[in-house]
Chain A
Amino acid sequence: MKIEVDAASVRIEDATILEHVSLVLHPGEIVGLIGPNGAGKSTLLKAIAGLLPLSNGAVRYDGAPASQTRLARRLSYLAQDGEVHWPLRVDEVVRLGRLPHRTPFAGESAGDRAAIERAMALAEVARFRARTVRSLSGGERMRVLLARALAVEAEVLLADEPVAAVDLLHQLRIMDLLRQVGQAGKCVVVVLHDLALATRFCTRLVLLAEGRKMLDGAPADLTDAIIRRAYGVSTLRGEHLGQTFVLPWAPLE
């Protein structure tokens, strides 16, 4: 599915959260959505997911607007808060990802069960399937929620800060998982704060600052000057195994 964000603006009360952002997303891309706090990353992700009314502009899916129910099977959204309100079993949480595929009065199909197993295997959560989410660590829990999002088996996966609150090992495992999903031909859009992870795992970066798009290009296009302008920090660059990486170093005075 090709997604076109066409001059999208979002205003809430008098504040402009997103200003005239245009973007085209293709299958097989892993797009990192980066930018400082309040830049409008989560808002843009929700707009792409069709979860938010736009003040101006439009989002088109394969050239046409789509309703929420239509989108539910084609587009999967992983929320930022990672909330699970009841102590549900892990496999019951993953099962929720099949809700868009269920027809009224019909139980779970063999296809649904297979998709749940695939998602749990991919996210490596099958071994704690019978535990409740409350008994898991933050990183394990995020993998379970990711498995829930994968169980939708949608063409597009939108993830809002999936590595913000997890340890280093889980950050790498989750990013690697997202890369696998992208390499399998799906479109992945992921909101990130960590520029090292963003430049390393994403095929394309979209930098937002104060609701506007500042950069849309390959990870190599994210120059020190742009980072300085968007975040107000100086950077340190290095190279390892032929890959460049970038670290934030000090606030600019």
Chain B
Amino acid sequence: MSAPGSQGAQRTDSHYAALVGALGFVVVAAFLVSLFVGYAGLDAPQAVSDALHGADTLPAIVLVELRLPRALLGCFVGFSLGLAGAAMQGFLRNPLAEPGIVGVSGAAALGAVTAFYSGLSQIIPLALPIGGMAGAAASALLLYALAGRGAGTTTLVLAGVAINSFAAALTSLALNLSPNGFAALEVIYWLMGSLVDRSLPQVWLALPFMAVGWLLLLASAPALDALSLGEATAQSLGFDMRRLRLQLVGGAACAVGAAVAVSGAIGFVGLVAPHVLRPFVGHRPGRLLLASGLGGAALLLVADIAARLLPIRPELKLGVITALIGAPFLFHLVYRLRREG
């Protein structure tokens, strides 16, 4: 990509800064568009000015109560999924790994469904996301109980797959035993993933967990770079594999668990964002983290804007749109892997 010579490394550094800057710009732009695009026309300057002055006018309420949580969650959930996807792919050295591969996404969905069925979500407004996060936490603990502290990477992934399938089975069981069709339909819709009708309290509930997850995942960058040369070499470079596994499972449980808890299961973002951006960071797993997080945020914001702009009513669920965008990418990835042998 760049010319040979002693400037090569520095050139990739400036390349990387430019990429992160460009992605950051796209995220900010998509965030603003997401704020001001919707069903009701919104007088943007008026809404912002009213909101800042604390005036309870209709434009201010639409902006703060409806648009802002949706745009913020698009950002944060997308960042979490893109970042966790890149981290899991780097960790497993496999481009087909997805953010919830260690079991957190299935368990978070089950937790939310449980909160819904138990009727808790009718009594406590935040029961759904709290249930989801409890599910994610339980899955991380179960993972450690199952796989043990000294478990290798393969054991950890197998345990994660087992947790995901068991959680999916229990979720189906709940749907099966559903007292009425409406309740089941509501759960199915929730599982498809959406950012509609989320509130600011939900954002503030999920954000601290996501932030902790982001820090844990971003801090693994040097270890993921070292892992490109295999576990033994990474260890010889001073990275403790047991600590790294703990850090990544904990990070994914926090970030992905909180994301699923507030938005439902939104697939493919965590798979597509790292895949698309990997060539732009010279395939370095550590550098891919931040880039893929920003890419995930941009992707999710754009998909959510598309959900509003597409002339289809009722509005398509976000998970459906990301799957429709993501699946062709997956075909492409499989095709490319096959060609590489």
Using a CB–CB distance below 8 Å, which chain A residues touch chain B? 46, 49, 51, 68-69, 71-73, 75-79, 81, 83-89, 91-93, 95-97, 99-100, 102, 107-108, 113, 116-117, 127-130, 132, 145, 148, 152
Q: With contacts A79-B236, A87-B283 known, what are 9 further pairs, Cβ within 8 A?
A: A46-B232, A51-B232, A68-B236, A69-B238, A72-B236, A79-B233, A92-B12, A92-B284, A129-B8
Interface contact B238-A72, CB-CB below 8 Å: yes
With beta carbons under 8 angstroms apart, the residue of A71, A86, A148 that contacts B285 is: A86
Q: A86-B284, A91-B9, A99-B222 are in contact. Are A79 and B240 (CB under 8 A)?
A: no
Residue of B nearest to A42 (CB): B232
Tier of interface size on chain B: 20 to 34
Please tell me if B52 contacts chain A, counting CB pairs below 8 Å: no
Within 8 A of A (CB), among B1-24: 1-4, 6, 8-9, 12-13
Given contacts A51-B236, A77-B233, A92-B282, contact A86 B228 (CB under 8 A): yes
Q: Is B226 in the interface zone, CB < 8 Å from A?
A: yes
A113 to B9, CA, bound (A): 9
In the complex where A77-B236, A108-B9 touch, is A96 in contact with B93 (Cβ < 8 A)? no
Taken residue by residue from 101 to 123, chain B's Cβ proximity to chain A (1 for < 8 Å, 0 otherwise) reads as: 00000000000000000000000
Contacts of B235 in A (CB 8 A): 51, 68
Counting CB contacts under 8 A, is B33 at the interface?
no
- Once the chains bind, are A130 and B229 in contact (CB under 8 Å)? no
Chain B residue at smallest Cβ distance from A73: B238
A130 contacts B282, CB within 8 Å? no
Q: Which residues of B contact A85 (CB under 8 A)?
A: 93, 227-230
Q: Is the CB of B236 within 8 A of A130?
A: no
Q: Is the CB of B233 within 8 A of A95?
A: no
Q: Known interface pairs A86-B285, A87-B283, A130-B2. Does A71 touch B238 (Cβ–Cβ under 8 Å)? A: yes
Contact A99 B284 (CB under 8 A): no
Closest-by-CB residue of B relative to A53 is B150
Q: Tell me whether A83 and B230 are in contact in the complex, defined as CB-CB below 8 angstroms, given that A72-B236, A89-B8, A108-B9 are known contacts.
A: yes
| Interchain CB contact under 8 A, A79 and B284 | no
Is B237 part of the contact surface with A, judged by Cβ < 8 Å?
Answer: yes
For chain B, residues 210 to 239, give those with C-beta under 8 angstroms from any C-beta of chain A: 222, 225-230, 232-233, 235-239
Interfacial chain A residues near B225, Cβ < 8 Å? 96, 99
Q: A99-B222, A129-B8, A130-B4 are in contact. Are A79 and B230 (CB under 8 A)?
A: yes
Nearest A residue to B223, CB-CB: A99
A16 to chain B, nearest CB (A): 20
How far is B237's CA from A97's CA once the two chains are assembled, in angstroms? 7
**Would B237 and A72 count as touching, CB distance under 8 A?**
yes
User: Once the chains are docked, how many angstroms separate the CA of A100 from the CA of B283?
Assistant: 21
Distance, CA A206 to CA B11, complexed state (A): 46
Interface pair B284/A102, CB less than 8 Å apart: no
Q: In the complex, how many angstroms separate the beta carbon of B228 from the nearest chain A beta carbon?
A: 5
Known: A46-B232, A68-B238, A92-B12. A86 touches B226 (CB 8 A): no
A247 and B42 CA atoms in complex are apart in Å by 86
| Contact indicator A100/B229 (Cβ below 8 Å) | no
Bound Cα distance from A102 to B226, whole angstroms = 13
Hey, which chain A residues are within 8 Å of B285, CB to CB? 86
Interface centre among B1, B6, B278 (most CB of A within 10 A): B6
Name the contact of B232 in the complex, choosing from A71, A79, A117, A129 (C-beta under 8 A): A79
Nearest 5 pairs between A and B by C-beta?
Answer: A72-B238, A77-B236, A85-B93, A86-B283, A130-B4
Which residues of chain A come closer than 8 Å to B238, judged between CB atoms? 68-69, 71-73, 99-100
What is the bound-complex CA distance between A92 and B10, given in angstroms? 11
